[in-house]
A and B are shown apart, each in its own frame.
Chain A
């Protein structure tokens, strides 16, 4: 029994080391460089002064906040009603609705932006159709487009988390309120909504953080509407070669905004810990009459519109092209060009993501075990540190990697390793979360029983814990894979011609106007992602809550 704690202490120390090196060190570097004068090497506030005094940067800060808040509100306006209808009514085609919502959630992030351009842009299908009717509709570029894309991209977070919360509210609470004389809408206002509020606010803040971190959408659809992530990237490319002081300073500001948002929400929620207990679930109502019909139609509309970009992309990928121009009719030309010209990036994407996922799966079981079973101050710290990748935007992480690992002993810039490592560290929390959620459902008594039967503790992990943990590990791995293969914001900064990935290629193709290739690549991404989604649903037998 004596050696056992040492084994886990060793694991914990090793993991803390890896996290410190590949997560905390780059972030520290980013912070450090932003306060360091690039010419003299002295401590300075010069870059912060410049960012806060210059109109170009100030506008970007305000734009970022506006995009974050509006994206969050949009996602809530779609997600909360959908969650309410789905949790209270027997909506027909329920599985269809939740599957589409999940697919919208995991589809490649920038597909939405350019698919909406193809529908509502200057030469979009819907725009042209409306023009033929004699009406010149407003175009989608700039703020409205970004908010539209974010609302339809991130509402599934709000929907899935709120639905989970609404369904798990003990039925007795509402019955008690009804017994005390409260009418239906009063019960919703005073009981249901406050009880669901922790979940609603958590998902809303998540939408805010993701909206301000997103790079692809504002850069494709934003035109002259710049956000911090787009100017950080632009700044980084113009400072390339020198010290990226301004890019780093902007990164710090972005990170601070995210951290503040999450911190405020957590602080606010701390006073609202609701005791669980025996949950009596409520029965779902049958939707009736006209209002029942409208209610169901609005559910379908939300998920269908959010799936629209994916359908547009798949459709576009089968259009015949001559170079960048669509020549009318259908063909497999775009796939043929992918096959002939850019198999490299397809192979890279699968290889990098798979390598990162193998690493994630192999350590997340150990990390989960340390966090759940050996909880102490250090493992608690590890648990909190693993929140960091959720909050820090990819652009920031990538810049941190570049300035940290560009010299001996870790000269990684331009290599495959740096991309695998950043994907690993950014997606590790998905694996750990899935594994620790599963581990919490495995009673420690099962392990204790094995120990009491004479199995040495080290074998207990292998023979008992690990097999029970496996579904959680696999689901976590799939989740990591989905997000890894769609990663753009960090890889765009780290790629070279030999380490280009599919999302980077899609992004560059869109900028070049090569929509056929972009669509074909996006379809490949979409199909691989969807395959993983179905695998996760099969493995976890869940309704989609494992995706958040």
Chain B
């Protein structure tokens, strides 16, 4: 177990700034996720920690000791690869023992650790198999076991589930989280899948264009996005112009509302918009919209509607809320509450406007 600090990390590829002064702290034993779209710098940062990239400037520290001059093979940081990187000429057991063999452990200790980790990732019955006889999920378990068996201070995971199909991905991510909690190992996890990040992390760091956008718990990042990028990247969201006529009219009809900040963009989550008549009646704002699509997802309905201002509106309704009678083309009244709106500056940075007049 170890804590990690990244201090003003900069990495450029010619004119492109892959990391543009990234600083963050990962507490010991934390499951820390780097989340962002492709090209945001998350993989570059991870590979810099592993030692496969050199930073142009900045510092990386584990338990306060700088890593910059330590070669990759001496860092004692585990790494799990997106493409598994399971050695194709070695069996499951040989793969997992590959790093352990160099430590010249007494054979009883060697066997204990090998058996132990194979048990943790549930590969005991497959230990003699060759990689080409394994499914993708099993291969990634080998990759996981291979780095865990070294007892690294920190383990890095580079989109470990992105090559697996949806169901397996969910299964394995629960398992990875379980193993991480069981061993209490500091984990830095890279993904572009916001749902995955929300599901497994202790802390999420949202990155974009080489810069940290926000660091927080999944709940903070979702409920309290720091800027427009985070609001749009994490979870579904609606973006509305409060000055648009229909919205303005809806506001005007409720005297108790204070005016919105000037020239701001307002956001509201799809699940915060209501359609059931009694809830609409109790809402701060009521708006007439036209339904364009009604999509059934099993436990909920996803609606796509359009306001009189021609702004698209995503709505998520649980089953039952009078949803079965909905049809596309229908006009319905929806309700929204002022406390659910977040306001952001209408600028490239899109910073959050917190102080309300």
Please give the residue numbers on chain A whose beta carbons come within 8 Å of chain B beta carbons, in ascending order.
170, 172-173, 175-183, 190-191, 194-195, 197, 272-275, 277-278, 280
Contact = CB atoms under 8 A, between A and B. Distances in A.
Contact of B102 (A176, A181, A280): A181
Given A176-B146, A178-B73, A179-B72, A170 B102 contact: no
Nearest to B150: A180
Contacts of A178: 51-52, 72-73
B147 interface: yes
A194 B94 CA distance: 14
Given A272-B89, A273-B132, A274-B89, A180 B81 contact: no
B77 A179 contact: yes
Interface string B62-101: 0000000000111111110111110111000000001100
A278 B82 CA distance: 10
Instruction: Return the 5 tightest CB-CB contacts between A and B, nearest first.
Output: A180-B99, A172-B85, A274-B88, A176-B85, A275-B132
Interface in B125-140: 131-132
A198 to B, nearest CB: 9
Contacts of B51: 178
Nearest to A273: B132
Interface in B92-118: 98-99, 102
Chain B contact surface mostly? loop
A195 B98 contact: no
Given A175-B52, A180-B147, A181-B73, A275 B131 contact: yes
Contact of A179 (B79, B87, B89, B163): B79
Contacts, number: 72
B72 to A, nearest CB: 5
A191 B74 CA distance: 18
B197 interface: no
Interface in B5-22: none
Contacts of A179: 50, 72-73, 75, 77-79, 147
A338 B193 CA distance: 74
A272 B87 CA distance: 12
A172 B87 CA distance: 9
A277 B88 CA distance: 11
Nearest to A184: B73
A195 B99 CA distance: 18
B150 to A, nearest CB: 7
B147 A182 contact: no
B98 A177 contact: yes
Contact of A173 (B76, B85, B99, B132): B85
B88 A275 contact: yes
B90 to A, nearest CB: 8
Contacts of A172: 81-85
Contacts of B79: 175-176, 179
Given A197-B89, A274-B132, 12 more contacts: A172-B82, A172-B85, A175-B52, A176-B79, A178-B51, A180-B98, A181-B74, A181-B102, A195-B89, A273-B132, A275-B132, A278-B163
A182 B150 CA distance: 13
Nearest to B79: A179
Contacts of B82: 172
A273 B163 CA distance: 21
B132 A170 contact: no
Contacts of B83: 170, 172, 277-278, 280
A183 B150 CA distance: 16
A179 B149 CA distance: 13
A177 B95 CA distance: 10
Contacts of B76: 181
B49 to A, nearest CB: 11
Contacts of A170: 83, 85
Contacts of A175: 50, 52, 72, 79, 81, 85
